[in-house]
A and B are shown apart, each in its own frame.
Chain A
């Protein structure tokens, strides 16, 4: 790997790059899915290659190849410089990077059991047991369970002298039970929707999920939902469980604090942000109970690493403090534009993509309530759990979410199960209505495996630590 990196950096500088970095990456992954008692998918994939990012003529260029030879490294480095010079044809100012001391370092995800070394038999047995437990429930139409694991070895080297080696291990698993009637399809997921709960961790993470133990309950809930009452349309008090609140944080806080979005760099695809720079330090994002951090150091978080893909060390950055917006996620290019240094959030989803500002683990800090007390304290409302649908406008203000589960709350008690629940709001109004957050015992890191951004598209793994919370005056049951 190092010979490729050295050749690429040398060639880029010879061709006139004022800055260059290279990432050489080997990635191995495995997917296993079981459906209704049979193996639905069993796949292993390997991907290797390198990407060279340069500044030449004051503008960016990037080129990447799957051919790991020094001759290809030279070709790709020269191409990256040629592309940068083409970029310079339509530049308005030179790119400036925030300072970064060169470093030689390494990082590896702490792992007890390498998930790619665990036998297929063991993994299949785990999924088959959960599958069997789901299918014992009468009325279930489809039972699905799956796990995924990946190991990424990457070398980062820059013309500033940094050489950083990292091994990032991710894995996760989940189950889905689907019940069908003439006019309804209801799916229940565990531990989370989008196929699985995931983290940076070894196979022990999957073993701790309790798939089999929860399979029958989840399947039973899917069947019950077919005959559940439709979530009513009204404005009420809403309690969100951790899985749904994680996505609420993701969409309404995580994306709008990406400084590249704020500066319009994503305008053509994902959109911009309502959290414009004049709001930094003074804008009331939510109630005083709302405290949010972007933390790339949280153990097992899906957005946890040692160094970002610009070689900046992982950091823990305050985003919302006592309800006031105080911090962005930034890069070496964007941070100087607001007089700061990079907060270390640049990541690429492979060797063939440029790093972009991506969420790390954007976490809502725990409050002081127990969930039981929170429900007991709620006279009239609805509790919703596990995301089913999501949508938010291109400045991240008007959102609408749907959940798999909802329950009526009456006189402090969780009551009737409701189906097809949805809620909507405007981001700062919604967070202003937050009047209770559960405590650290209820706090859990959730992994989001499908965060899309950029052109060409990139999919990133990010994390959200949350505890259930309560929101007043929320419109639910959108029709």
Chain B
């Protein structure tokens, strides 16, 4: 770890080497390790130390970005000079207003760093993996997965006086267990490696595999579904990708474009982004050093807002919500800490309340078919069951779905009361299970 003082010195050095009208330096440094297993044995086991220092130089309205992964003085100076030279060679972006100004001292976010995670050893990860494998073997299953620990440090400074620094840790484990005719999945993530309960994870995954053995085929069609949180989180990620950013909204590519203030989902659906919630790998500021704000996206089924970075906020004359991605960013701002507000049902109650339908553990290989209609396709995976008269009757073979996410959310029957943390790229989401009256399956596969 560099620490705040060293990081500030590095960033100030880069800023002083950048002879531009405005300049920004983003530093991300990482120490990470991942132990991977398959066929009940560790087959890949890696560790990495890396960093990225990125300089964004602004000359007039011309912008250049240069980065290096070496934090020595000379490469950092070269990156700063290169960014300035690139800005001078580039063409103007008339829509650029300014880098964000300072927003005062940014309070550290408690609960995002754990010494135990930073100190985790290869042997510790191997022992955790061995515990998962042992449990799988007890059920005559074959386990594959990964256990990772990482320590990450992020700092942003700009020539207008912005400075922000944050250190965090994360520990994650995931496992797929395989039997002759079925598979089961589970994952866990946390800031503290001690909170990643691999025994519970193994029990969960093995239970799914055992309960989904010998699946029967069913015909595709429209069914009621209960989606476990793994599936809900993936569905929400795609909804966010096609709709919750200011750039998509501005260009008319977002489903929110003509629907702000209108009903887009069932009343039980409230979705917001909150990077300040430490339960989902919180981050006090974005990649421009702007403090994160909670943003209501859909409230009681009504479209309420999107997230902004300084560029899109500048164009619209509003304040950035602290959702910038690293420059140069052609995708626009995106949420990184989605929350779907929990309801009042247990998963068991949701199944018990279903007449006929499908219980889905997880989706696989999801992709967008129609962004404005929020239609996505993908497969079920690692445990799918047929439910009748409130009881799980038998496991079924995997199905392909093609479904509008908003259409599905408009048919919400109930929302689960327990939320699950799903790790994202630089944050995480907290989502419950959902019971939906209508979900369209359009194909089937052979297992």
Instruction: Verify B42–A456 contact, CB threshold 8 A.
Output: no
SS class, residues of chain B in contact with chain A: strand
Interface string of B320-342 (1 = CB under 8 A from A): 00000001111000000000000
Is B86 in contact with A389, judged by CB distance below 8 angstroms? no
Q: What's the nearest-Cβ distance from chain A to residue B439, in Å?
A: 14
Instruction: Tell me how far the C-beta of A389 lies from the nearest C-beta in chain B, rounded to whole angstroms.
Output: 4
Residue A185 contacts which of B47, B126, B252 (CB distance < 8 angstroms)?
Answer: B252
Asked whether A424 and B400 contact (CB < 8 A) given A59-B42, A86-B35, A89-B126, the answer is yes
Given contacts A43-B66, A46-B79, A62-B46, contact A92 B445 (CB under 8 A): no
Give B366's nearest chain A residue, CB to CB: A391
Check A62 against B253 for contact (C-beta < 8 Å). Answer: no
B50 and A390 form a contact (CB under 8 A): no
On whether the beta carbons of B49 and A65 are closer than 8 Å, the reply is: yes
* Shortest Cβ gap from A148 to chain B (Å): 12
Judging by beta carbons under 8 Å apart, are A45 and B66 in contact?
Answer: yes
Q: Mark B109-131, 1 if CB is under 8 A from A, else 0.
A: 00000000000011101110110
Find out whether the CB atom of A180 lies under 8 angstroms from the CB atom of B377.
Answer: no
- Of residues 465 through 479 on chain A, the ones whose CB sits less than 8 Å from some CB of chain B are 478-479
Contact check, A389 vs B367: say whether CB atoms are below 8 A apart: yes
Instruction: Let me know if B405 is at the binding interface, CB within 8 A.
Output: no
Interface residues on B, range: 35 or more
Is B175 within 8 A of A268, CB to CB? yes
Measured CA separation A49–B71 after assembly (Å): 12
Q: Does B140 sit at the interface, judged by CB under 8 A?
A: no
Interface residue SS majority, chain A: mixed
- CA of A35 to CA of B328, assembled, Å: 13
Pick the contact of A400: B33, B79, B381, B443 (CB < 8 A): B443
Q: Interface code B163-187, partner A: CB below 8 Å = 1, 0 otherwise?
A: 0000000000011101000000000
User: Would you call A352 and B50 a contact (CB within 8 A)?
Assistant: yes
- Asked if B251 is at the interface of the complex by the 8 Å CB criterion, the answer is yes
Q: Which of A43, A59, A80, A395 has the most chain B CB within a 10 Å cutoff?
A: A43
A268's partner among B176, B371, B378 (CB-CB below 8 A) is: B176
A393/B67 in contact, CB under 8 A: no
Given contacts A42-B90, A185-B371, contact A64 B330 (CB under 8 A): no
Chain A contacts with B in 109-152, Cβ cutoff 8 A? 120-121, 124, 128, 141-142, 144, 146
Selecting from A3-11, A156-164, A258-266, A308-316, the interface stretch reads A258-266
Kindly identify, within residues 363 to 382 of chain B, every residue whose CB is under 8 Å from any CB belonging to chain A. 364-373, 377-379, 381
**A227 part of interface (Cβ distance < 8 Å):** no
Tell me if A373 counts as interface (CB < 8 A to partner B): no
A393 touches B398 (CB 8 A): yes
Are A41 and B91 neighbours in the complex by a CB distance under 8 Å? Answer: no
Closest A residue by C-beta to B134: A90
A33 lies within 8 A of chain B by Cβ: yes
9 A-B pairs with least C-beta separation:
A41-B328, A86-B122, A398-B445, A267-B144, A180-B252, A43-B65, A268-B144, A86-B126, A87-B42
Q: Which residues of B are interface residues toward A (Cβ below 8 A)?
A: 32-51, 62-70, 75, 79, 82, 86-87, 89-95, 121-123, 125-127, 129-130, 133, 142, 144-146, 148, 174-176, 178, 251-253, 258, 327-330, 364-373, 377-379, 381, 398, 400, 402, 442-447
Q: List 14 A-B contacts (CB under 8 A).
A: A31-B328, A39-B62, A39-B91, A46-B68, A48-B70, A59-B42, A61-B45, A62-B47, A65-B49, A183-B373, A268-B146, A268-B175, A389-B368, A400-B377
